[in-house]
Amino acid sequence: MIKSYCFIVCLLALIFVPGCGGNKNIHVWPPESGIMGPDENLIVLLPDPDGHVGQVTVTGAGGSQVITQAGYGCGIYPGNKAVTAPRAIDEESIQEIFGKALEIQPELPLHFLLYCKVDKAELDDPSIALIPEIMHAIKERDSVDIGIVGHTDTRGTKNYNYELSEKRALAVKNMLLSEGVHPDVLEITYRGEEDPLIKTGDNVYERRNRRVEVIVR
């Protein structure tokens, strides 16, 4: 009985002492004698470019911490590798430490969706009109890494649709080549009906699934 009691206490201690979890509560800094300084490893959460805030779990030798708030960070002591509880890191420190890395951070890749005519590799007119925009993005970014991904709707057999999606991707490839894009920078993939934008049953016409995605990185 005493043994099992001890076991439960130990288990609870294991769960709560490393301080995992929500981190909405205010943590006292510095937790020991440490001051935030150049001799500290640091992990800071920022909002995504679209404003959404995700989360990171930092696991060191001395336990684990979850950061869920943008602008919060955990330190890790070089010696004992203990991960400190998340604390607010001011903008000035972020700039001072990470300014150079943030400055050279590339823009996010651009994704374009081009739609095709039913059972054809040919693009519809509004999609053809998007080609100059794609060319502009390629030039503006000096892109040497462009993905072209062909898709179909679920009308027809899987094998047929693989071939059709390949033809669609190749049609767009040829359009970009004729605009002067170097063949080496294009990467063609095709997924048939396997990766629909809109989920449908089998044998369903759906314009939004008859598409070619162009990714300009």
- Binding residues vs other proteins (CB under 8 A): 39-49, 52-61, 67, 73, 76, 78, 81, 83, 94, 97-106, 108-109, 141-142, 144-145, 147, 187, 189, 191, 194-195, 215, 217
C-beta closer to other proteins: residue 19 or 73: 73
CA trace torsion 39, 45, 47, 48 (10° rounding): 100
Q: Minimum distance from CB of 55 to other proteins (Å)?
A: 5
**Shortest gap between Cβ of 96 and other proteins (angstroms)?**
10
Nearer CB in complex with other proteins: 39/122: 39
Q: Which is nearer to other proteins, 157 or 189 (CB)?
A: 189
- The residue assigned the tokens 């979890």 is 21
Instruction: Tell me how far, at minimum, the Cβ of 8 lies from other proteins, in Å.
Output: 28
CB distance 149 to 215 below 8 Å: yes
Find the shortest distance in angstroms from Cβ 85 to other proteins: 14
Nearer to other proteins, 3 or 100 (CB): 100
Whether residue 87 contacts residue 29, with contact meaning beta carbons closer than 8 Å, is answered with yes
The answer to whether the beta carbons of residues 179 and 139 sit under 8 Å apart is: no
- Contact at 8 Å (CB) between 3 and 47? no
Cβ burial of 110 (10 Å; 0-12, 13-18, 19+) is: middle
Interatomic CA distance for residues 36 and 58, integer angstroms: 17
Q: Residue 22 CB, nearest distance to other proteins (Å)?
A: 15
Residues 48/54, Cβ–Cβ less than 8 Å: yes
What values do phi and psi take at 196, rounded to 5? Answer: -70, 150
Nearer to other proteins, 41 or 128 (CB): 41
Helix (H) or strand (E) holding 207: none
Measure CA of the first residue to CA of the last residue in the chain; give whole Å. 63
**Nearest residue (CB) to other proteins, 92 versus 103:** 103
Nearest distance in Å: CB 138, other proteins = 13
